Amino acid sequence: MTPNEKAKILSEALPYIKKFYGKTIIIKYGGNAMVDLSLKSSFAKDVVLLKLVGMNPVIVHGGGPQINDSLKALGKEGKFYKGMRVTDEETMAVVHNVLSAIGMDIVNLIKNSGGKANSLTQKESLSFIKAKKLNITDEKTHDSIDLGYVGDIESIDPYFMHDLDEHGIIPVIAPIGYGEDKKIYNINADVVAGKLAEVVNAEKLVLMTNTKGVLNKNNNLITGLIPKEIEDLIEEGILSGGMLPKINAALHAAKSSVNSVHIIDGRVEHALLLEILTDQGVGTLIKAH
């Protein structure tokens, strides 16, 4: 890249840097971006750059592929219901250990890229995400579905996270909640990211995934969606499985105080910068109306 090309990119990014200066951006980090070495590196650099130019990125990470690998090593197969992992006691222990390791890996990636980060410890998390057992009923049979240690968010306390932001530290958050019953609950990472974005009045919620974004029946990217269109896609079966909690979290955040919600392709290097600092966009924009 020539000096002139670099100067052009910087000049195009300046309006976005000014627009989002001091704003909080919640980033759900998952999929290939978490396992591919070059994508991990570009993600860490993107997050550090966003922090350096005055934004407040907050990372909520998943860990599905790594959890599945750990379960297979124990001779267990991951089971899901509408995109949510069925979590018995043994699986919950695996989830907790894997997510803790991933959190530290992300912290080290950011530090190696010149930034500062902190993953919430178990003690701090006790007061950060409060959860209770998720109770759901099958829409067709009306039977109660027991997902085990899967949680529903009761509340999120943002003050610890704000303290990190003010000290130039990027918060790295695992999707685990703690109940009044002293039990640990597994929560879908997209759900945590969406709820956190609402609680802190985030400017943006960015959900990274392993597709170009939301696709239509012909597998073409849908660049923008509103609630009625989302309902139609679900009814037609085009949106299903792991995309359901993602799209529901995105829609709920869009209807609250979050100014923009994006589902982007995490397989694209520097996808975050392309989405936030350019007008190109690399995914689907979810709008409340």
List of residues 6+ apart from 182 with CB closer than 8 A:
none
At 125 the pLDDT is 56
pLDDT band at residue 2, thresholds of 50, 70 and 90?
low
| CA 95-120-283 angle, 5° bins | 70
At 57 the pLDDT is 95
pTM (2 decimals)? 0.89
Name 148's bridge partners.
87
pLDDT band at residue 242, thresholds of 50, 70 and 90?
confident
Domains of the chain: which residue ranges? 3-286
pLDDT in tens, 277-286: 887 667 888 8
At 138 the pLDDT is 76
Looking at residues 192-215, what average pLDDT do you find? Answer: 90
At 123 the pLDDT is 52
Residue written as token pair 């400017």: 203
Q: 3-286: which CATH number, 3.40.1160.10, 1.20.1440.230, 2.60.120.20, 3.30.750.24?
A: 3.40.1160.10
Sort residue 128 into left (φ over 0), alpha (ψ -120 to 50) or beta: alpha
CA 38 – CA 41 distance, rounded (Å): 5
CA 216 – CA 222 distance, rounded (Å): 6
Say how far residue 185 (Cα) sits from the centre of its chain: 17
**Least confident segment among 15-24, 230-239, 261-270:** 230-239
